[in-house]
Amino acid sequence: GLRGQRGWQPAWRDPAPKLAYQVIIIGAGGHGLATAYYLAKNHGITDVAVLERGWLGGGNVGRNTTIVRANYHLDGNTEFYSHSLKLWEGLEQELNYNVMMSQRGIINLAHSDGQMDFYARRGNAMRMQGDDAELLDRDRVRRAYPGLNHDNPRFPILGGLRQRRAGTARHDAVAWGFARGADRRGVDLVQNCEVTGFRIERGRVTGVETTRGFIGAGKVGMAVAGRTSQVAQMAGLRLPIESHVLQAFVTEGLKPVLPGVVTFGMGHFYISQSDKGGLVYGGDLDFYNSYAARGNLPMIEHVHEAGMALMPMLGRARMLRHWGGIMDMSMDGSPIIDRTPIDGLYLNGGWCYGGFKATPASGWCFAHLIATDRPSPHAMRLRLDRFETGHVLDEEGTGAQPN
């Protein structure tokens, strides 16, 4: 269908790196690209390079299950993800790019009275923040999501917490939209350029060593997701972050069977249906530290057991593909956007399974921090020193749920 097209231009340039930049961002994933975009757009800083070891968008930004939501519970996270969802709602107009943002809603299913109580509290926290939340009883869930096994004797569905403004977005398009927007504002996107070390003089970063030579920089931001602890280690920093593999799966295209995103409350399983009709789903981590962007067989069985307990029809669908991504798991399930002890070196990481939904706000807040040296009001609590002071944001069960 595209054969008749003529004269298409690349959506961004392919520049050779300059000798030095005002700001270097390491990592052309969603967060690095969004940071570069907002540095240029919000702060007028365009002497910026984004350095990517592979190809733009080849990391987790192109590997996730595309779920976008703002249903966190704790202060610190609620305001950040709330800001992110608002940015998502205007992102297509902002970037003039179709990111296929689809607010089809998310429901977290409850299977016990305790879970219903907790969802009532979490829903209240969401509404206090100004976001939408509805607590559904079992009949409303049954009517809204008829394709689920509501009467599983072990895990009957008692109700759920729904956020209608949540949904899905086309993940690659998000990377491409931010990339094009940053490039048009003068940012250099440099692919096949791995950062291999930092030059630090008298406690201040002065540039990075790369596979394409040394590049000087006034400021350097790390946005390398699954590689966060490795890259930080090159600057002598030991972070409270571990890397683990998370897998995802997609079936053949089916007629519409799921109206929105569903998370199972009694197993680690979440599912949605793509616009092409494929069921897109995932579950637990592979549970050992790894930098392999592919998963192992036992977890495939485990995820499908949980999936079929919730949605037996899954057993009749043919799985087309599965893949893995490297997750930067922080110790409290919440992210970090902060300065480091090295002057001019900034950290964006610890996104666990949930960084896709954070993409616009992460870029917005990281750009603010790099430009002004002060944290954005939306990310005041996403500090690195919380692991030292004990003021952790423990959303391991809610925020870090893989969706």
Tell me which of 72, 80, 351, 366 binds ligand FAD, using CB under 6 A: 351
Number of Cβ atoms within 10 Å of the Cβ of 115: 18
Sites for ligand FAD among residues 277-316 (CB under 6 A): 282
d(CA 226, CA 242): 8
SS3 108: strand
Tell me which of 64, 77, 273, 398 binds ligand FAD, using CB under 6 A: 64
d(CA 78, CA 74): 6
Tell me which of 36, 39, 48, 65 binds ligand FAD, using CB under 6 A: 65
Residue 200's identity, in one-letter code, is I
61 makes contact with ligand FAD (CB under 6 A): yes
Dihedral, 270, 101, 86, 339 alpha carbons, nearest 10: 70
Tell me which of 12, 39, 60, 250 binds ligand FAD, using CB under 6 A: 60
Q: Are the C-beta atoms of 311 and 150 separated by less than 8 Å?
A: no
Number of Cβ atoms within 10 Å of the Cβ of 125: 18
Position with the least CB separation from ligand FAD: 29
Sites for ligand FAD among residues 208-237 (CB under 6 A): 223-227, 231
Sites for ligand FAD among residues 29-48 (CB under 6 A): 29-32
Residue window 7-26: x/- pattern of binding to ligand FAD, with contact defined by CB under 6 A: -------------------x
Q: Are the C-beta atoms of 169 and 99 separated by less than 8 Å?
A: yes
Q: 2, exposed or middle or buried, with CB in 10 Å at 0-12, 13-18, 19+?
A: exposed
Binding segment (CB under 6 A) for ligand FAD, from list 101-109, 114-122, 129-137, 352-360: 352-360
268 makes contact with ligand FAD (CB under 6 A): no
Sites for ligand FAD among residues 165-204 (CB under 6 A): 194-195
d(CA 285, CA 94): 34
Tell me which of 123, 333, 344, 355 binds ligand FAD, using CB under 6 A: 355
Q: Which residues bind ligand FAD (CB under 6 A)?
A: 26-32, 51-54, 58-61, 63-67, 194-195, 223-227, 231, 246-248, 282, 325, 327, 351, 353-357, 403
